[in-house]
């Protein structure tokens, strides 16, 4: 099933890919890999989840922030490839969680991104991943997600 059809069935819409918030490229292709720069929970230029998970935000809100980041990863993939037909797989996912001291459910927060990929990309969603806590992220975002994808 087409990615955007899956999203619509979930009540989601693929956003416009966010512009970088600094001096870098949103994605860079090297051979059959596309490296997608850190995606924040931005929709139409507005940060949807701000602050630390575990103090300012709940685990569920952190999960939603990661899911929004994943939507932006998909938007960047579409922009880089002109669609999803040439996407072979999400290879690597790195999640950075703006977490309160002592908050340890980092993996459950990043599941927001992994679950969205599984629901929309199916067999192309399998990936390795790392998740780490940070005391702050750009724009005070709750989550940042970086991805490496394989293309044909």
Q: pLDDT tens for residues 120-144?
A: 999 999 999 999 999 999 999 999 9
In a domain, 7, yes or no: no
82: three-class secondary structure by DSSP: coil
- Please report whether residue 112 resides in a domain: yes
pLDDT for 76 equals 98
Residue-number span of the structural domain to which 89 is assigned: 14-151
- Cα–Cα dist 3/23, whole Å: 30
Angle, vertex CA 52, rays to CA 24 and CA 64, nearest 5 = 80
pLDDT for 87: 97
Q: Within a domain: residue 6? A: no
CA distance 24 to 17: 14
Residue 77: per-residue pLDDT: 97
Asked whether residue 125 is assigned to any structural domain, the reply reads yes
26 within some domain = yes
Which of the residues in the chain have pLDDT under 70?
Answer: 1
Q: Checking phi first, is residue 122 left (phi over 0); if not, alpha (psi -120 to 50) or beta? A: left
This prediction's pTM: 0.96
Domains held by the chain: number? 1
pLDDT at 16: 94
Q: Which are the contacts of 12, defined by CB distance < 8 A and separation ≥ 6? A: 71
Domain for residue 3, yes or no?
no
CA–CA distance, 61 with 67 (Å, rounded to integer): 10
CATH number of the domain to which 140 belongs = 3.30.1330.40
CA gap 5, 75 in Å, rounded: 14
Look at residue 9 and tell me if it is in a domain. no
Q: Count of residues for the chain?
A: 152
Domain assignment present for 20: yes
Q: What is the pLDDT of residue 68?
A: 98
Instruction: Output the pLDDT for position 1.
Output: 61
């Amino acid at each position: 099933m087409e990615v955007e059809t899956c999203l619509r069935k979930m009540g989601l819409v693929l956003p416009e890919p966010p512009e970088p918030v600094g001096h870098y490229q949103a994605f860079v292709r090297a051979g059959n890999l596309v490296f997608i720069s850190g995606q924040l929970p931005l929709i139409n230029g507005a940060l949807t989840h701000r602050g630390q998970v575990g103090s300012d935000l709940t685990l569920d809100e952190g999960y939603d922030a990661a899911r929004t980041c994943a939507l932006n990863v998909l938007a960047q993939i579409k922009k880089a490839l002109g669609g999803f037909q040439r996407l072979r797989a999400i290879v690597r996912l790195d999640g950075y969680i703006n977490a309160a001291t002592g908050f340890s459910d980092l993996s459950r927060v990043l599941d927001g991104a992994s679950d969205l990929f599984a629901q929309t990309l199916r067999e192309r969603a399998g990936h390795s991943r790392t998740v780490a806590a940070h005391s702050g992220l750009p724009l005070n975002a709750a989550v940042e997600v970086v991805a490496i994808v394989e293309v044909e």
